[in-house]
Amino acid sequence: MLELKNVSWTVEDNHGRTDIVKNVSLTLHEHKLYVVTGPNGGGKSTLAKLVMGLIAPSSGQILFDGVDITHMPITERAKLQIGYAFQTPPVFKGINVRELLTLAAGEKKINPTQLLFDVGLCAGEYINREMDSGLSGGELKRIEIASILARDLKLALFDEPEAGIDLWSFQRLAETFDKMHRQSEMTLMIISHQERIMHLADEIIVIDSGKVREITDKNTFLGSLTLKESCGCGETCERGVSF
Amino acid sequence: MLDIIDKVLLKAVANLDDIPKLGAYNIRRNGKGISRQSTKNIQIVPKTDQPGIDINVAPGTKGEQVHIPVILSAEGMTDIVYNTFNIGDNADVVIVAGCGIHNACDADAGHNGIHEFFIGKNARVKYVEKHFGEGSGRGKRILNPTTKVHMEENSQVEMEMVQIAGVDDTIRDTDVDLADGARLIVTERLMTEGVQSAESIIKVNLNGKDSSARIMSRSVAKNNSKQHFHMNLIGKNECRGHIQCDSIIMDQAQVSSAPMVTAEHSDAQLIHEAAIGKIAGDQLLKLMSLGLSEEAAEDTILKGFLK
């Protein structure tokens, strides 16, 4: 359903040209959950932004359901049912949580209370709160994820959804991703460093230095990590993966 | 009695479809009071020495509203009015003021509303003032409101001042003094476009012990318009005050914001914050990623900001 063909993204500044994403070719299939992981600065977020259209590739082609979306504006991609949860969600003075979720849902009927519950927030406390800097980073992050749950999507991209979220809410969030994967036809691409998220994956894509280093199944990937790590607690450990 | 233009103006500034049937009101059109009604607790009396009215709210009046809209549609007219509000002790009322100008000619039209409030002990007042201009004439639509508020012990005033369309020139001058335990909340919303100009001056004297004031100003300046804000909280006792001025600047507009706090007592706690900036790129991207066009995203952000 999503195909990236030799996609590159290059920035130019006073120090010259830097390739952030280099000739990446990838195919994502319907109803699969992909976890994208890899070292910081490796190009994972850039890849998600290229798919959503927040930035345009320097070269290469992006196809979605067979349609060339390489140069398609963000709004049009959104209408094709692609969604992206920002790593650092913007704040909006004067727009409250309910309004943002309603805006996200468009014509789809939603239950904002349930959506907030799914991301571990008490609706009564948050539904009428303004989306401004009065909310903590973790709260904004969870509302951002709820704004993606509110939509009717074919492809949902999540950029480090666990960042800034406490352990208890994270558990709830992992269950929500699992439910989305099991109960909908949506394809999920989650950028994450967390083992608990990786356990949900059909495939793990490792991005390093702007390239796809490996695409593997979770057992192979996590097995190799357990061998490398020295803490010895194996799969019960809540540690993040280090590279 | 009201024509279609009058009704549009009345709806814009007072959310009234016609002359109200209930409650106290005074409707002023083109320099003259055209309809007035008092109630048992709220007496509206014309002044004899100058244009304007006295609005006398009896002590203990609860849950009543007063509408005093001004509409201006005569060619090239400048209307000056002096209104005095005497709010009795322990009253709790809502006052809806505001001015709508329709100027279809080439001469300037303006309204200077000079309002003075005397708020009794423990009284609570919500004051809503909306300004609106329209009309195809080249003449300017000018509104210069002056508002003085004197607050007695433990009174509370919430002022909501909105001007978001069609006013070419405005100088708003607001001056408030607070006695012990009095509490003031000012919410200002302002939008200018074209070559419009707006200036807002708010001075608050926190004279009383445990008095407090919060001023929240949000504005949007578009095209080549200009805005100036001068806010001053003066703490003369053990008191608390907070000024928050936020402006979104677009196109070639200019905004200057000068929040000022002055402490004349060591237990005065005063804060000012001012921010001017354009719409953040990631705000637009977020809303566009939800399927909104760039124009719709910008409109949503501005409407929310000025809400």
ipTM of predicted assembly, 2 dp: 0.90
Q: Where are the domains of chain B?
A: 4-280
Q: Which pLDDT tens digit goes with each residue over B159-208?
A: 999 987 788 899 999 999 999 999 999 999 999 999 999 999 999 999 99
Residues in chain A: 243
User: Domains in chain A, start-ordered, CATH in brackets?
Assistant: 1-81+153-214 (3.40.50.300), 88-152 (no CATH)
pLDDT digits (tens, 9 = 90+) for B8-40: 877 877 777 777 777 899 988 888 888 899 999
Chain A residues close to B280, C-beta within 8 Å: 90
The per-residue pLDDT for A228 is: 53
Instruction: Report the share of chain B in percent with pLDDT over 70.
Output: 100
Q: Do B304 and A147 touch (CB under 8 A)?
A: no
Sorted by sequence, the CB contacts under 8 Å of residue B21 that are 6+ apart come out as none
Tell me: the pLDDT tens digits for B214-231? 999 999 999 999 999 999
Q: What's the gap in Å between the CA of A199 and the closest CA on chain B?
A: 28
| Percent composition of chain A: helix, strand, coil (DSSP 3-state, to 5) | 35, 30, 35
CB contact under 8 A, B307 and A90: no
Judge contact between B95 and B64, C-beta under 8 A: no
Q: How far apart are the C-alpha atoms of A7 and A50, rounded to whole Å?
A: 9
Q: What is the DSSP string of B269-284?
A: EEEEEEEEE---HHHH
Contacting residues of B for A49, CB less than 8 Å apart: none
Q: Cα–Cα distance between A85 and B206 in angstroms, integer? A: 46
Single pTM value for the model: 0.84
- With an 8 Å Cβ cutoff, is B283 touching chain A? yes
Alpha-carbon distance values, A127 to A106, A111, A203 (Å)? 17, 11, 35
CA dist A99 and B53 (Å) reads 42
Three-state SS at B84: strand
Q: What is the mean pLDDT of residues B269-286?
A: 94
* Contact status of B295 with chain A (Cβ, < 8 Å): no
Q: What is the C-alpha end-to-end distance of chain A, expressed in Å?
A: 30
What parts of chain A have a pLDDT lower than 70? Answer: 225-243
Chain B hits for A92, CB-CB cut-off 8 Å, are 283, 301, 304
